[in-house]
Amino acid sequence: MAIHILGIRHHGVGSAKNVRERLSEIEPDLILVEGPPEIDNMLATIGQANLVPPAAIMCYNSENPRESVFYPFAEYSPEWVAAQYANKHRIPVKAIDLPVTISFAKKREGNESTPPEPITNKDPLSYLAEISGFNSGEDWWEYHFEQQKSNTSEHFEAVMHVMESLRAEEIKSSLDQENIHREAYMRTLIRQYQNEIFTNIAVICGAWHAPALTKLDETAKPDAKLIKELPKSRIKVTSTWIPWTNSRLSMLSGYGAGIYSPGWYEHQWKVKDNVEISWLTKIANTLRQKQIDISTAHVIEAFVLSRSLSAIRNKYYVSLEELDEAALSVMCMGDGIWLEFVKKELTIGNKLGKVPDEIPKVPLQEDFEQQLKTLRLKLTAGEKQYDLDLRKEIDLNRSILFFRLEIMEIPWAKRTVSRTKGTFKESWVTEWSPDMMIELIDKAFLGNTIESASHNLVVNKCIQAKSIAEASGLIQTCIPAELFESIDTVLEKIVELSTISSDIIDLMVALPGLIDVSRYGNVRKSDLSILNTIVKQLLVKVYVGLNNACYGLDEENSTNMFGLVANLNNAIRLYNNSDYQQQWHETLHGMIDNSGIHPIVLGCICRLLLDAQQMDEYEVDTRISFALSASNDPYQVASWLEGFLKGNGMILIYDNRLWNLIYSWVDSLPGNTFMELLPLLRRTFAKFEYGERRQIGEKAKRGLANDYTPVDRDAAHNFDPERAAKILPIIKELAGF
């Protein structure tokens, strides 16, 4: 009866190599690894062709996937290597750590705030590191146990010896309390397996635990007592494989042995000879792809420098640190930006694992993949465009799925401009990146289907919404995603907010969107009539408060307000309720003489009323002339003009009275003032269409306008009905009739 305890560092390449070698020497009939027994089934699948690391085992509470813990594996993880060996030689591989269900229960009791973190050798090792002059315990371990190529049985003996003496020193660690129970559990399981038919057992565990697992016989009784202390747990835990990324390998969960350079580890694992040189060649190639000229001489020089560096540091091997620094100095001209790029591309790497289809998945993921199948959508790494015709059912459902994913912040599909006109057309571009699947699984706690998850997300956001604008934004996203239940929740929230909200600006931001939505009437199942009532209530609030809200604003806020007033005006026009339209105009009328309002807003109001034909010609005339009076500060006048003219200069072309007023005003400005005002005026005029600007320019050349409009006259004079008719078919075709 033999038990071989192999102490390792999680994700340690050297450890993995030693484990591989040692296993083939001892030829065990059972392999035990550190990890909760819930992952046994998953371990048995390691070695299948379509399970490609980096991958992680996710153990989650079946009822609440949010309660979860990940056990990530890379190709060079000793546990992965061990399981691979076991499956290849058809011997069982079992995990012997504390079950996840108990850890969850412990966490609920409040005794624990973190999930089990098996790695503990870091802290105690740092004492050894300090004594022998290393930066950290990691470095010390790397130097002594990962890089040394010695006889493997001696290697594991040495590990055991170091850990034994460290434990004998009784160095306190924050994980001690946890470790007592975990080690007791491990020992108990080993004893169990021992009593079965197995005679030659290999145990792969974090180095720190190794000495604790040797004394099996004398600890049986105290262990039973310790295990009794553990809480009983009824939490049902499910395990599944999920694809992992290199950058996530450094995440602290499960085997949270933060490895910051997975790409480098993998390189060390895969490349047998000339590890350092081939690494530098990889760096050179990465930089070459970025159009940085790196010659072979650079690689040679970098290698020479890295070796001298490690010599200065008294190391017998070149580590990533030296290689990085040599590359920085030789290849990147000392510039850290390029090296950062190399780190991202190479040192971390963007490798992504694969997981076989038949592995049970998180319900949300299953739903997503099911929907992809029925909607005939593919996850492609490159861009793919979908032009959807919403009159077809499949396209409509695709669009709904895209909108829902958008709500879930999974940016797979992005809206693009449709080439064809018509509201029934939508164009989307999809581009899949595997990170999105992890994001999706991260959201598994929100619901078991895409629909319920996005619904819950909206509800969560809705609860947190503080302004009506936020909530109305949510409504707008819900409608194309057909989340009708969510709309009801959001509506309730809006009612609640609108009763307490007194922020006119918030209301004005929200209203155009709400009015837009209310015009849908009751789309399909949801009853939006309540929205109508809300819109009306809010409009009244705005009407009452607008005058005060505009009073005494500075320029920036006024410019903002000017935009809001113009938008709201558009929305009210669409709202098509003459009562409310009338009240809106009355509100504007009431503000026009308020001298405390910034001229840009006043100009805008004046224009809106003029366009809505709410002012007679005489009044408009008076207003404009008043606004342009010589005694007014020229800056104010320029702002007023900006408000009045913004976006549309046609009025200057056809209204000669207005033209003459502005023309004389510009004429009356002293040279200096004109120069000062020029940028302001330009801001206004530059926004006009090119044709408008040209016509205004031509008009200005002619000076003050007489009462006839020359443009019109020319047009009438030259009009040839026969020639004009010829263009009509082409216009028809262009317009798509």
C-alpha to C-alpha distances, 679 to 241, 638, 658, 674, 685, nearest whole angstrom: 63, 10, 21, 9, 10
In whole angstroms, how close is the CB of 433 to another protein at the nearest point? 34
Q: Smallest distance from the beta carbon of 334 to another protein, in angstroms?
A: 4
- Evaluate whether 179 touches 120 at the Cβ level (below 8 Å): yes
Q: How far is the CB of 302 from another protein (least distance, A)?
A: 9
CB of 686 to another protein, least distance (A): 31
Burial category of 216 from C-beta neighbours within 10 Å (exposed 0-12, middle 13-18, buried 19 and up) = middle
Q: Which amino acid is at 512?
A: P
Q: Which is nearer to another protein, 57 or 318 (CB)?
A: 318
Query: Given the complex with another protein, which of 17 and 298 has the nearer CB atom?
Result: 298
- 75: part of which helix (H) or strand (E)? none
Contacts of 639 (CB under 8 A, 6+ apart): 555, 598, 599, 600, 603, 680
Indicate the residue among 314 and 423 with the shorter CB distance to another protein: 314
* Closest C-alpha to 641, from 617, 613, 669, 618: 669
Which residues contact another protein (rule: CB under 8 A)?
Answer: 293, 295, 297-298, 301, 304-305, 308-309, 311-314, 325-326, 328-330, 332-336
Supply the minimum distance, in Å, between the C-beta of residue 313 and another protein.
7
Least spacing, CB of residue 283 vs another protein, in Å: 15
Closest CA to 467 of 437, 504, 414: 504
**Distance (Å) of CA 474 to CA 138, 259, 461, 467, 586:** 48, 40, 8, 11, 31
Instruction: Please identify, using beta-carbon distances, which residue of 307 and 687 lies nearer to another protein.
Output: 307
Question: What's the closest the beta carbon of residue 300 comes to another protein, in angstroms?
Answer: 10
Print burial letters for 519-551: b (CB count within 10 Å at least 16), e (below 16). eeeeeeebebebbbebbeebbebbbebbbebbe
Residue 254's SS3 state is coil
Least distance in angstroms from the C-beta of 564 to another protein: 29
- What are the tokens at 309? 């560096």
- Smaller CB separation from another protein, 306 or 695: 306
Closer to another protein by CB, 324 or 470: give it: 324
Q: Which is nearer to another protein, 276 or 642 (CB)?
A: 276
User: Which is closer to another protein, CB of 288 or CB of 313?
Assistant: 313
Compute the least distance from the CB of residue 338 to another protein, in Å. Answer: 12
Instruction: Report the 3 state secondary structure along 655-697.
Output: CHHHHHHHHHHHHHCCHHHHHHHHHHHHHHHCCCCHHHHHHHH
- Laid out side by side, the sheet with 384-389 consists of 384-389, 425-430, 413-416
**Tokens 């209203």 map to which residue?**
511
Nearest approach, Cβ of 305 to another protein (angstroms)?
Answer: 6
**Given the complex with another protein, which of 332 and 542 has the nearer CB atom?**
332
17 and 270 in contact (C-beta within 8 Å)? no
Nearer CB in complex with another protein: 202/326: 326
Using the minimum distance from each CB to another protein, give the nearer residue, 304 or 429.
304
Q: Look up residue 44 and give its two tokens.
A: 């048995």
Integer CA distances (angstroms), 346 to 188, 246, 256, 294, 625, in order: 43, 10, 21, 16, 69
| Other Cβ atoms within 10 Å of 311 Cβ, number | 12
Side chain identity, residue 421 = K
Nearer to another protein, 311 or 394 (CB): 311
CB of 309 to another protein, least distance (A): 4
Distance CA(497)–CA(470), nearest Å, equals 11
Shortest Å, Cβ 325 to another protein: 5
Q: What are 601's two structure tokens?
A: 């807003």
